[in-house]
Structure 1
Amino acid sequence: MEFGVYTLADIGPNPYNGQTISAKKRIQEVIAAAKLADELGLQIFGVGEHHRLDYAVSSVPVMLSAIAQQTKNIHLTSTTTVLSTVDPVRLYEDFATLDLLSDGRAEIIAGRGAFIESFPLFGYNLEQYNELFEEHLELWQRLNKEERLSWQGHLRASLQNAEISPRATKEIPTWIGVGGTPESAMRAGRFGTGLALAILGGNPHYFVPLVEAYKREFIAAGHPKEKYKVAVTGHGYFTEDGHQARKEFYAYYKNYWGYVNKQRGMSFHLNRESFEKMTGPNTALFVGSPDEVVEKILKQHELFGHTRFLAQLDIGGQPFETVTHSMELLATKIMPQVNQYIKG
């Protein structure tokens, strides 16, 4: 199984001291985290796209290009690209450039994203979300394979024998991020992309139908079996002692969902008892000791057969040292145990 980490570069106050770092400092920390992930031998580093003042990264390919110059081996992916509100030609040009800068390490995870501010910002109609996503995805896949093409859609200007430059070292691996809708999972199967499950809580069994729907559509479309890929992504916090991990993470987790829901115009309340239930052994929240997290990953592997695990470790205004400690445990304790078990 491949292991990695991702960040949305949210800028939130530290719940213990109330301090909020600047966007510049947040970006510096993201680059430092990527460099550490590479040095630790993790395989994937992802950066998310937002267009709000409380997030530090809006231009993912620019950010990943900076990271490419500080790393050597780790693959670099968007988590996620809001595909409905980006022009596919520009997207391909940017990620092909990243691919060349990184010696073939570029990937994308495409999805709707958690917010909708990019629709009015870039002049797209939110009511056309599905049509935009499918049209942009179809064009993206053509661009990913053809250096010169003609194309006709409904929502974007046509292309006539257009030259698409530069060319990446190979087809850029593409995944669709799915939070819980069968339609999105079916779309990933129909288009033959990877499926990246965003499992942020609850019982993992609820996501089994999504994987099954993805697999059915993938097989029905006749895609090559080597393109069938399932990844699991989710929130994580790791310390040597599971009780200590839950004790420390509670404030960060409560803080994170507090300001995220406030951004959406919603209130959020989480008491300690509810949090303890959310981090139980049969739930999807990856909080605890390395052994506890290994057990959760392996249980999910039995359900989904996934070959990639990505943890979001920096939510809720955490200081950088707690994030790096979780990363170190992921690379040195969790990843080896999981892969040893899977190999038998």
Structure 2
Amino acid sequence: MDIGIDSFAAILPDPTTGKPPSPVDRMAALLEEVETADRVGLDVFGIGEHHRAEFLDSAPAIILAAAAARTSRIRLTSAVTVLSAADPVRVFQEFATLDLISRGRAEIVVGRGSFVEAFPLFGLDTGAYDELFVEKLDLLLELRQSTDITWEGRFRPALSGQGVFPRPLQPRLPIRIGVGGTPQSFARAGQLGLPLMIAIIGGSFERFRPLVDLYRETGLQAGHNPDSLSVGVHAMGFVGETDKEARDAFYPGWAHLTGSIGRERGWTPPTRQQFDDMAGPDGAFLIGDPTTVATKMRHASDTLGGISRMTFQMSTASLETAAMKRSIELLGNEVAPIVREGIPHDALMQKT
């Protein structure tokens, strides 16, 4: 299992001072986090894409390029690229360039996005939310296959054999589909035979098993090799010295961000009990000491029939740099070895 981190470069208030960091300081801290992840042997670091005041990740390829220059082995990916609101030609060029800078470590996770701010920002109709994604994904996959293509769609000017450069170092730039909870998205990924990245930001892992089964069944029916139908999970996660320390560190930032977004969407205000339930044995938050987190990761993989990648959304913790780096160190030095050694889930449970 690949193990890594996803960040939205959130600017949240410090839980002790109540003051947010400056954008310059937050970006510097983020790059330190990527360096730390690379140093402790994590496999992948992803940067999201949002177009909101509380995030700094509107141009993820630029952040990843800066990270590429300061790391040597960790894979660098979007998490996710809002492809519906982007030009696939430009996305391909940016990540091909990142692939050259990083010497073959670039990946793309594409999705429709859970926020809609990018659509009016770039003059797009949210009513064509799904149609935009389908067409642009088709073009992106064509660009991956060939330098010179002829292509025509509804939402972008046609291509009539123009060359798209540069080409990446990797012969086939890795592309995953990022999904939430709609069966249509899982089935589409299976039909195309593309690896899946599931955002599980609440509830339980169990409720996603029927959707994962749908993905795999659709992929097999479409004639794809089972080995290509890999499943990754993006989940809220944080590692501390103890379960209580990890929960207390993560909760303030999570409550602030969830409450802010919830007010826009009409959600019930989040509570500590709700948070503790999701961080408990039956919830989907990977928050706790190294053994607790490793146990839940193994459980998640068993529940979903095998996971090839798991990434932690840690930036919601809203912590100062040293604490974030310590959590990354615990993930790389203590959690990852337990998971990679393949210790049976029952044996891990006996340690807790």
For residues 41 and 29 of structure 2, what CA distance do their matches in structure 1 show? 18
RMSD: 1.6
Determine if contact 1:10/1:55 at 8 Å carries over to the other structure. yes
State the TM-score, normalizing by the size of structure 2. Answer: 0.93
Stretches of structure 2 lacking an aligned partner (at least 5 in a row): 346-352
Question: Secondary structure of the equivalent of 2:6?
Answer: strand
2-side partners of 1:149 and 1:267: how far apart? 46
C-alpha offsets along residues 112-143 of structure 1, whole Å, 9 cap, x if unaligned? 22210100111111111111100000110010
CA shift at 1:11, angstroms?
1.1
Shift of 1:342: 5.7
Displacement of 1:146 in angstroms is 0.4
Alignment partner, residue 251 of structure 1: 252
Rounded Cα–Cα distance in structure 2 between residues aligned with 1:279 and 1:97: 39
SS in structure 1 of the partner of residue 236 of structure 2: strand
Contact kept? 2:112, 2:130, Cα under 8 Å:
no
- Superposed, 1:1-344 pairs within 5 Å as 1-169=1-169, 170-262=171-263, 264-266=264-266, 268-304=268-304, 305-341=306-342
Give TM-score, length-normalised by structure 1.
0.95
SS state at 1:341 partner: coil
> Post-superposition shift, 1:225?
3.5
Q: Secondary structure at the match of 2:10?
A: coil
2:12 and 2:223 mapped to 1: Cα distance? 45
Distance 2:252 2:90 in 1: 40
Which one is further off, 239-248 or 200-209? 239-248
Distance in 2, Cα, partners of 1:286 & 1:106: 26
SS of corresponding position for 2:3: strand
Q: Can you list the C-alpha shifts for 1:59-90, whole angstroms capped at 9, x where unaligned?
A: 11111111110111110000010010101111
Give, as a single letter, the amino acid of the residue that structure 2 aligns with 1:181. T
Contact 1:48 1:80 (C-alpha < 8 Å) held by counterparts: yes
AA partner of residue 180 (structure 2): G
Distance 2:197 2:37 in 1: 20
Q: Deviations over 1:301-342 (max 9, x none)?
A: 112201111001121422222211111111011110011126
Structure 1 unmatched runs, 5+: none
Contact preservation (8 Å) 2:249, 2:319 = no
Aligned residues: 343
Q: Which moved more, 1:98-107 or 1:223-232?
A: 223-232
Letter in 2 for 1:219: L
Which whole-Å CA distance do the structure 2 matches of 1:290 and 1:152 have between them?
51
* Matching residue's letter, 1:284: A
Q: 2 CA distance for matches of 1:66 and 1:43?
A: 17
Between 1:218-227 and 1:92-101, the stretch displaced more is: 218-227
Query: CA distance change for structure 1 residues 292 and 125 in 2, over 3 Å: closer, same or farther?
Result: same
Which letter maps to 1:20? P
Partners of 1:125 and 1:342 lie apart in 2 by 49
C-alpha separation between the residues in 1 aligned to 2:80 and 2:71?
A: 21
**Residue 343 (structure 1) shift:** 9.2
- Distance across 1 between alignment mates of 2:222 and 2:274: 43
Aligned-partner Cα distance in 2 for 1:34–1:158: 38
CA contact (8 A) 2:252 2:318 kept: no
Instruction: Give the direction of change, closer, same or farther, for the CA distance of 1:267–1:215 in structure 2 (3 Å limit).
Output: closer
Is the 2:262–2:269 contact (alpha carbons within 8 Å) kept by the matching residues of 1?
no
Question: How far, CA to CA, are the matches of 1:225 and 1:176 in structure 2?
Answer: 16
Q: Which amino acid aligns with 2:138?
A: E
Q: Which amino acid aligns with 2:184?
A: E
Q: Secondary structure at the match of 1:202?
A: coil
Measure the CA separation in 2 of the matches of 1:209 and 1:47: 28
Question: Structure 1: which 4+ aligned runs deviate by more than 4 Å?
Answer: none
Deviation at 1:267, TM superposition (A): 5.5
Letter in 1 for 2:20: T
Amino acid at match of 1:95: F
Amino acid across the alignment from 1:146: S
CA deviations 1:227-251 (Å, max 9, x no partner) are 2211011111211211232233322
SS of residue matched to 2:92: helix
